[in-house]
Amino acid sequence: MEKPKSYLINYHYSYLLCLLIFTCACSSARQLPRQPSEFNECQLDSIDALEPDKRIQSEAGLTEIWDANRHPELRCAGVSVLKRTINPNGLHLPSYVAYPELHFVEQGTGVLGTAIPGCAETYEEPQWEKGGRPQQQQDRHQKVRYLKQGDLIAIPPGVPYWTYNYGDTPLIIITLLDTSNKLNQLDRIPRRFYLAGNPETEHPEKQSGRKHGEEQEQEEESNNLFSGFDSRFLGQVLKVKDSIIKKLQSPDKEHLKHQIIQVKGGLSIIRPPLEPEIRSEEAKTHRKHHGEKKVEEEEEEVIEDEPGKREHRKWRKETRKHREGEGEGEEEEVIEEKETKTKERSHHGERETRHGERRETEEEEAKEEKQTRTRTREHEGQRGNFLQETICTLKLHENIADPSRADVFNPRAGRINTVNSLTLPVLKLLHLSAQWVNLYKDGIFVPHWNMNANSVVYVTRGRGRVQVVNNEGKSVFNGEVKRGKLLVVPQSFAVAEQAGNEGLEYIVFKTNDRAEISTMIGRDSAISATPAEVLGHVFGLSPQEVNELKNNRNEGVLATPDSRIHDDGYIAMV
């Protein structure tokens, strides 16, 4: 029995409604990228400018850690922070974590290598040596990325990476550990999984409950992942000697406890040359070519000056001309031979033409069959290609401190650069973003709040004053910050910054890939967007006072001070 059309229409509408509800539910789930904070964890009466709680000295560097367990503001933001200093020729061992990381290069140059599962090893040595002989051992690996001051690097969870300093100055990297990110299926305790070495742990939780100090800390042992597997099993899987397995599980004592090791003689890897290296190589080639030419001219001068050598020089020129003449003769013979073959082909042209139509038909059929097979392979390999076209080709870093790409600029106050999921798409997967702020002398970042993210501020240069206000209207921080200080500003807490005489530069990590702020004063602010009569009633202001409040400050998020400056060099921000 055929069902009525009205029944089919209602059925289709019901199906579309269910699909819409399911899509909205999935979208809502994707928009919750963070684990919820514990009860009353963000009820903060005071916030401090923090210094590192733990320092781990390595053979070729230093690791400094801010412990979230000791600071409620870090627990509220759901993050931890570490600072890693790598000395020249220092190599940080390959490792990975279970949560997203965001790195900022405060100083120096280096390279960072990743091992993204399923991606091709696109950097490889040539198969043939210069002498034309095949290489016995051809190395290949995944792409390596150059690092320089101001770079922002995003590392997805579970991706092993290593860092090497090839410069002459220490490489300093500030890292945000987003332990409360939904991509982390473990708890909020920072855990690092090392593929090599047996370095001292970065886990700050282990010593928070100790009572016997450093003696117990030295008894703590940490091994790499290979150490936990049975050695005979690894030998069967890797098909290598027992001596190699032993080195994988228990490195030599020199590198036993170090996160950052010293590479004697420097590290030689496959990498594209930098522009200075290219210019240096071109200069060497030019000097070499110029030197050879000069040597030939000197030899000719010597030959001409020496008695009895003129005839030898004349003989060399005649020999060269004779060889060139033989070459021309050979070319004429080759041309004649080609013309002969062309005539022979023309002689048999009619016979070949008779079979032309049949050959063309066979070629068309083969072409169609090939296209069908190609389409089938593309359809079957869509999932594999999807990995290479997304994860493997994602851009992982961007220079956030480049003055030419400033998003906000005031010639007297400073500039702001922002990197989010629009400029660096990988941040959409990690739900993180960052902001670089450079305030000039006495420059002001007007009072504002983060609408959808927590902020972690690290000062890289200069000094300044910061004020933070909570939901109860209480000042939870009002003090000076300088290089090396860390300050957490929770979501919706109002904050304002002003630079001192040296200026103020800082990086801001934010726990949302599209973090947004709302300003309290100035152009496009909460005050300017509110009707004058409303402001008059809520603040008890006269129309003239409301007009001054709304229009006396027409600058945007960055503002310049007026003449009311105190002895300490800061404007009174009341």
DSSP structure string for 291-359: HHHHHHHHHHHHHHHSTT-HHHHHHHHHHHHHHHHHHHHHHHHHHHHHHHHHHHHHHTHHHHHHTHHHH
CA distance 474 to 488: 16
The two three-digit tokens of residue 58, written as one number: 């390595």
Residue 327, pLDDT score: 47
Q: Contact, 248 vs 230, CB < 8 A?
A: no
Residue 385, pLDDT score: 47
pLDDT 10s digits, 157-181: 999 999 999 999 999 999 999 999 9
CA distance 377 to 273: 37
Domains, the chain, ordered by start: 49-125+138-203+222-262 (2.60.120.10), 401-559 (2.60.120.10)
Q: Contact, 484 vs 441, CB < 8 A?
A: no
End-to-end CA distance of the chain: 80
DSSP state of 250: S
Residue 552, pLDDT score: 82
Residue 118, pLDDT score: 84
Residue 257, pLDDT score: 77
H or E, element range at 409 = strand 408-410
Q: Contact, 81 vs 133, CB < 8 A?
A: no
Q: Contact, 99 vs 73, CB < 8 A?
A: no
Counting runs of H as helices and runs of E as strands, what totals does the chain give?
A: 14, 25
Q: DSSP H helical segments within 398-468, as ranges?
A: 426-430
Q: Average pLDDT of the chain?
A: 78
Q: Contact, 462 vs 414, CB < 8 A?
A: no
Range 225-230, long-range pairs (CB < 8 A, 24+ positions)? 225/193, 225/194, 225/195, 226/195, 226/196, 227/198
Looking from the CA of 222 toward its CB, the CA atoms found within 13 Å total: 20
Q: Contact, 56 vs 203, CB < 8 A?
A: no
Angle, alpha carbons 394-399-404 (nearest 5°)? 125
Going by C-alpha positions, the residue among 459, 458, 437, 440 that lies closest to residue 448 is 437
| Global model pTM greater than 0.85 | no
Tens-level pLDDT at each residue, the chain (574 residues): 554 545 444 544 454 444 444 444 444 434 456 665 566 788 889 999 999 999 999 999 999 999 999 999 999 999 999 999 999 999 999 999 999 999 999 999 999 999 988 888 888 877 766 566 666 677 888 889 999 999 999 999 999 999 999 999 999 999 999 999 999 999 899 999 999 888 877 665 544 444 433 433 344 557 888 888 988 899 889 998 888 888 888 776 665 678 999 999 888 888 888 766 555 555 666 565 555 555 455 555 444 444 444 554 554 555 555 544 544 444 444 445 445 544 454 444 544 444 455 555 556 656 655 565 555 444 444 444 444 456 787 889 999 999 999 999 999 999 999 999 999 999 999 999 999 999 999 999 999 999 999 999 999 999 999 999 999 999 999 999 999 999 999 999 999 999 999 999 999 999 999 999 999 988 889 999 999 999 999 999 999 999 988 888 778 899 988 755 455 555 544 3
Residue 376, pLDDT score: 46
Burial class (CB in 10 A: 0-12, 13-18, 19+), 303: middle
H or E, element range at 505 = strand 494-510
Residue 249, pLDDT score: 85
Q: Contact, 569 vs 502, CB < 8 A?
A: no
3-state class (DSSP) for residue 49: coil
